[in-house]
Structures are given as C-alpha cells and as structure tokens.
Amino acid sequence: MNHYETVFILTPVLSDAQMKEAVEKFTKVLTDNGASIVNEEIWGLRKLAYPIQKKSTGFYALVEFDGDPTIVKKIETAFRRDERVIRFLVFRNDKYAAEYAAKRRSLKAGKAAAAPAENAEA
C-alpha cells in the first residue's frame, strides 16, 4: 500500500452543495476501489495563478489516501470524465512526505482543538 495525495480544482460556478457532492463522488471512487481515505480537506474558492478555461478562480480540494498503484489510473479516469474538474494532480508520497503530511494534520488538529477553547474564554 502506497500513500497518495490528490489535489483537484473544481469549476467556480458550482454551489457549495454541488462542490461537496463532487468531492464525495471522488472519495467514493477511491473507497469503492479499495483505498482508505486518510485525510480530506476542502480549501474553498481560491484565485488561480493563471486563467484556466477563462476562469480565474476555482474550488480546491485535497484528498490523502492509501491504496494500490492501480487505483491512480481509476481516479484519474474519473477526474477526466467529470466536466466540473478543471485541473487535478495525483502523486505518491515518499516516506518523508508522508511524515510531513502526518505532522501537518496533527498540527491542524491541535489548532482546531485549541480554537474552541479560545472562543469560550472570550
């Protein structure tokens, strides 16, 4: 089992519900093919570095998963078939990138746990 990350950009004309449904569709493709989802982050609407298909913004999403190498071809096919996806990238993490991703997740979880406590004091 290898550790993979995929980042994809969805077209900005989608509503929040449509965007979340698209992300769920791709995570379902992964889980149906034997992958286990490690982390899922929706980064929201962000400005693109350059226009893509005459669009200057897009919904970014990151999904980290563990799976066999055969799953990469299946998820890339799903990305290509969906017209809502304007860009995607799937890559395998080496052991150092996997350690960094785990550390980043734990720091983010620590900040999320500390945020409600700070709000309660105010």
Q: Domain range holding 17?
A: 2-95
Considering the domain boundaries, does residue 108 fall inside one?
A: no
Domain count, the chain: 1
**12-66, pLDDT tens digit by residue?**
999 999 999 999 999 999 999 999 999 999 999 999 999 999 999 999 999 999 9
**70-90, pLDDT tens digit by residue?**
999 999 999 999 999 999 999
Q: What CATH number corresponds to the domain at position 38?
A: 3.30.70.60
pTM of the entire predicted model:
0.85
Considering the domain boundaries, does residue 121 fall inside one?
A: no
Considering the domain boundaries, does residue 83 fall inside one?
A: yes
Angle, in degrees to the nearest 10, between helices 16-32 and 70-81: 150
